[in-house]
Each structure stands twice: as structure tokens, then as C-alpha cells.
Structure 1
Amino acid sequence: MRLNGTGAPAGPLAPGGSGTFGSTPVEKTAAANTIETELEPHTKTATKHADEATTTAVKGFDGWNTVSGLKKLADTWDKQVKVLVGRLGSEKSALRGASGLFVRNGSGLGDQFRPIGQSRLNGIQGHWC
């Protein structure tokens, strides 16, 4: 690979690449906010409605063998919802963490490269033949 980019592999940071890497910190934050403000509350609301409907059905079938099946179904549903809500929370945290990590890494790299522009050779006068 040469410094002018000839022979550089195609990719997001290579010349001619798309210039994007996955998603921006803003997009990650927006996705985390969507999980928090929409998916988590709507999942909890749907769970509440399903639990209420199951409770009504259990009362309606009181004395029937169907009740044990409905209770088992409700227990399975509740366990699955708990896993889903936990997963949503994990994804939300991961998105926020990744967003912050990219910003911190970008700032850190920028700080590392700033001194390069301040060469100690500036201001030195030499005699050239």
C-alpha cells in the first residue's frame, strides 16, 4: 500500500470507501432512547393486558382442566417477557456504552494527534547550500 491510497483496501476509512462506520453516536443514542421510551413501556403494557386476559379466562374456566394449561401458559409468558425486558435493557445499555466509547476514543485520538502539528523544528533556522 502506498501513502497516496493506491492499493488501499476498500472500506469505510479507505479512499473511495463509504466514510461511515456502522452508525453514529447520535444514532446509537436515538436507538437507546427508542428502547427506553417505546419498546420497554409498550412491552410492559402488552404484558399487563395479556395477564389480565389470562386471569379473566382462568376465572371463566374455574373447575375445568383447562385452568392448569392456562396457568402454565401464563407462567411461560411471564418468563419470556422477563427475558425480553432484560434483553431490551441490555441492548439499551450497550448502545449507550458504545456511543460513549466511540466519542471518548475519537476525542482521545484527536488529543494524541494534536502535538504532531507543533513540531520542535518550527522556528529553527538553518543554512542550506
Structure 2
Amino acid sequence: MESTAPTDPRFDGPGPDAQYRQALLEGRFVLQHCEDCSAARFPPALVCRNCGSARLAWRASPGAGEVYATTTVRDRAGDYNVAIVELEQGARMMSRIDGIAADAVRMGLQVQAHIVPGDEPFVVFTPIAEGTA
């Protein structure tokens, strides 16, 4: 007996994590945006965290943001920071801030995203020099 139940296209093909990773492999930093409430979201998901809509679209992100929260992790191999960055689109993501001493990262610091290439690319941020944008 053949099923006549409607199918959900969100489950056809690669999932949102795989789509995000593929964009990074191609050198593109993208975020999902809800087509119903306009909220940007990270991490990738099947539905909007704000309104529950399944109508999410990928859009290129310019990668500019500011440090929302930060901490310094002290390790035998050296100190490093872990930061939550609020992107201009409104989404927040956890990463690190490169190009500055770990304990010099402060809330409100303006930063720019960069993709670290490789087999498993990822996004890090660097401070934006004052007077540039």
C-alpha cells in the first residue's frame, strides 16, 4: 500500500548543518533567516527559534558583530578566549577572537568573521581596528 501522506521537503537532501559546512568549505559565511519573522539564526536548524516557522533561507553574512560575552580559559598550552559574538543580523555564535591577547577581549569589542579553511572549516573573529568598518 502506497502512502499518500504529505512529505516534508526539509528532510530531502543534506540537513542544515551539512549545508552550513558546505558553504564554509566554499569560503562562504552564511546564516539562516526566517522568511516569516525575519530573524537570523545560528546554529542552523529546521525551524525558526523565534516563531517556529519552517521557512528558513540561507543568506550571506558580512560577518561584522560585537563581543556579547567572553571568558579567558587558562591552560598549560596557553591562555585562549571563548566568546559569544552577536552578529549585526542579530544571531549569536560561540567562537574565539584571534589577533588580540585572550584577556584583552572585552564585551562590546567590534569584530569581523573569518573562515579558517581545512577539512572541517570554522569561523573565528578578529577585532576591527578603530576607524575602519
Please confirm whether the aligned pair reaches a TM-score higher than 0.5, indicating the same fold.
no
* TM-score, normalised by the number of residues in structure 1: 0.21
Higher helix share: 1
> Which structure: larger Rg?
1
* TM-score, normalised by the number of residues in structure 2: 0.21
Tell which has more relative contact order, 1 or 2 (C-alpha 8 A, sep 6+).
1
Higher strand share: 2
